[in-house]
Amino acid sequence: MADDPQRNFRSAYYEKMGFRGVEEKKSLEILLKDNPLGVVPPHSDSQALVSQYRLQQFEDVSGALRAMRFTHPSTPSTELYLRMHQLESNRLPRRAQLSAPDTEDENFLAVAMAMEEIIDDPVDCYWLIRGFVNQFRIKFGDSIPHLPKSLEHFLSLEDAALLSYLRTIGALPGLPFDLWFRRCFAGGLPESSLQRVWDKVISGSCKILVFVAVEILLSYKIVIMGFNHPEAVHNFLSNLPQENTEAIVTKAIELWHKHCGTPTHAV
């Protein structure tokens, strides 16, 4: 996706004016209206017709799943979205082979649950989940495996002692990397904070995920260094207190700017 100079300028301008966090309260909703996920057709004259087609496709696919008895009227919406995505991507298993969701499916469900808290309309919600997951996989799939090493690098610059402690107790391999880097913090941050992170991801950068993770570690350094076992570190970081996340995301964005200059949404 091409960079958006207007958006970059706007974010930088608001931050310089001291409005960090305020302008991003509805950032994801505003960004989605700008159509970075390709959900809305570029020509306004086509939007009503395309919306009608997408509603029809939603009804056809969900109806097919009901006819095949993969879903029923009481199926949770997130499971419906998962089965629709599997069907459309030729990954729908045989009914006789249905099993517990694998890691990829769990990641999809986490994103779906978070998106459902942000977007009210189920049709729009599905298309946005689909667009977000597909774009993230295509654009950043090759980068994701390298993000843990990137986290170590930036944490060494910010707090070498904390990094050393995590290595000493063997906690580094057990950090919740799937939650942070494959689910984009869906299920780990409240939606108000998550929107600010996803705003940057959708705009074209997955490195913001690294800086959010670094800032989480820095913010809870005292707590983390009180643990002696990697499992305790993992459990705490997978279930963070929710009251301090806005400040964490704000500081993470500051770190992003500190280490990357004025980011142009490069990975």
Digits of tens for pLDDT over the chain (267 positions)?
344 444 443 344 334 333 344 344 455 555 555 566 655 566 566 677 778 888 999 999 999 999 999 999 999 999 999 999 999 999 999 887 888 889 999 999 999 999 999 999 999 999 999 999 999 999 999 999 999 999 999 999 999 999 999 999 999 999 999 999 999 999 999 999 999 999 999 988 899 999 999 999 999 999 999 999 999 999 999 999 998 999 999 999 999 999 987 655 545
User: Could you tell me the two tokens for 175?
Assistant: 């950090």
User: Could you tell me the two tokens for 19?
Assistant: 């409005």
- At 100 the pLDDT is 84
Q: What angle in degrees, to the nearest 10, is found between the helix axes of 103-118 and 77-88?
A: 120
- At 11 the pLDDT is 45
User: Could you tell me the two tokens for 112?
Assistant: 């779906």
The length of the chain is 267
Q: What angle in degrees, to the nearest 10, is found between the helix axes of 147-158 and 160-168?
A: 130
- At 1 the pLDDT is 39
Choices 3.30.70.980, 1.20.1260.10, 1.10.8.680, 3.40.309.10: CATH for 20-139: 1.10.8.680
> Is domain 141-267 classified as CATH 3.10.20.30?
no
Q: Where are the domains of the chain?
A: 20-139, 141-267
- At 217 the pLDDT is 98
Through-space distance between the first and last CA atoms of the chain, rounded to whole angstroms: 12
User: Could you tell me the two tokens for 262?
Assistant: 């004025």
State the SS3 of 139-166. Answer: HHCCCHHHHHHHHHHHHHHHCHHHHHHH
